[in-house]
Structure 1
Amino acid sequence: MADSNAERPLRKISTAFKELAAIVNSPSPEVPVAKFSHACSLVSPLFGCLGIAFKFAEMDYVAKVDDLAKASSAVSTLVVMVDRDIEANCVRKAGSHTRNLLRVKRGLDMFNVCFRYYFHFCRGNNSLKDPASKSYAQVFAPHHGWAIRKAVALGMYALPTRSQLLTMLNEEEAEAKIQMQSYVNASAPVITYLDNLFLSKQLGIDW
């Protein structure tokens, strides 16, 4: 049973991404770096919930969200941030805000895909291996070397069960599905906005 006094990360994530979706769907979709980085920081605990398989992804994601949060003190919107990196000719350099933004986007995409697979594979099944492994294969694996892919594959055997995940998220099954679906719906236009931002600047998204 969920503890009403404990944190419920899925609800915070859902709310934050609904707010971002409203911005990207507006006539003037100027996404503040501070608001974006805060919403992304709320996603960080989800990596931790998946255990050792996603430890590398968690560390990488958290570091890059932190970089964007720090950048928000100097740049107003994501477009301004990317334009500055283009002007400085540092887009693809390690540590650039734009490169970090692309990596963070993949983290958002991973859970969008993972939650959609969750609905498909977890009916009467207590294992998270299918949604976790398939979402990793779709989003992260094409960009990871052999050693990382092998480590993730081994870590999949240590994933929590679905019931353990719900306990960590402090949610009942029915409410968790509502919040996951809310994130799927709200994050989709945000991810599309980010893809279009990169493509509109001729930067590509597969690097």
Structure 2
Amino acid sequence: MANEDEARPLKKMAEAFKELANILNAADPDGEEARIELGSFSRACSLVSPLFRCLGIAFKFAELDYVAKVEDLSEASKSISTIQLMMAGDIEANCVRKAGSHTRNLLRVKRGIDMVKVLFEQIVVTEGNSLKDPASKAYAQVFAPYHGWAIRKAVGAGMYALPTKVQLLKKLNEDETSASIQMQSYVASVAAVISYIDQLFISRELGIDW
């Protein structure tokens, strides 16, 4: 069974973010700010990387950028215990918005898991075998506002090389029923994590649109 689960990246993604969501749901809503370990967060995010690879050239830019930034957070977790402490260090060093800062990378990683959330939402409700419409909507909603014309044009061209839904599910070792269950589990869990990260930025008056 362990080997079977190892070959199901979608299931591993969903379970990892469910664990994070459970931590947030167990926190006292009127008490101290919930704390998520940076190591646990970066491990969960690393499990999303295979999904970007499965989408092919259209999201190659996202895969390369996402993987590099998750690796930065993973490396940071060796010396920094929580997301809050990581952000506090960058705020103190006045480097939050500088390229390469952990906090800036956190914001970019958050967009990556958000894009996958919207993609899964669209796949679940879209009829047919094409991923072009779900992927286009996910890109337009999450990434496009932050990209220049050249990247948007390249992504648009790459949409024609996306795998079909059947091909994607085969790569993920899922059938349509099991994939729908795992996608909806991921969507529900990651929504809580995304909201939590957004609140961390907003409560520290850092904003989330940069």
**TM, length-normalised to structure 2:** 0.94
Deviation at 1:119, TM superposition (A): 1.4
Write the distance in 2 (CA, Å) between the matches of 1:206 and 1:50. Answer: 26
1:86 correspondence with 2:91 = yes
Residue identity in the other structure for 2:181? I
Residue identity in the other structure for 2:132? K
Deviation at 1:6, TM superposition (A): 6.2
Residue identity in the other structure for 1:36? F
Write the distance in 1 (CA, Å) between the matches of 2:18 and 2:112. Answer: 17
Write the distance in 1 (CA, Å) between the matches of 2:106 and 2:180. Answer: 28
CA contact (8 A) 2:24 2:192 kept: yes
1:29-84 per-residue CA deviation (whole Å, 9 max, x = no partner) reads: 21000000000000011111110000001000000000000000111100110011
Match of 1:38 in 2: 43
Match of 2:159 in 1: 156
Write the distance in 2 (CA, Å) between the matches of 1:197 and 1:112. Answer: 20
- Mapping of 1:50-89 within 5 angstroms? 50-89=55-94
Match of 2:104 in 1: 99
1:142 correspondence with 2:145 = yes
Write the distance in 2 (CA, Å) between the matches of 1:120 and 1:23. Answer: 29
**What is the count of residue pairs matched by the alignment?**
203
Higher mean alpha-carbon deviation, 63-72 vs 19-28, is at 19-28
Q: Which 4+ stretches in 1 moved above 2 angstroms?
A: 3-6
List alignment gaps of at least 5 residues for structure 1.
Answer: none
RMSD of aligned residue pairs (Cα, Å): 1.2
Residue identity in the other structure for 2:138? S
List alignment gaps of at least 5 residues for structure 2.
Answer: none
CA contact (8 A) 1:6 1:170 kept: no
1:196 correspondence with 2:199 = yes
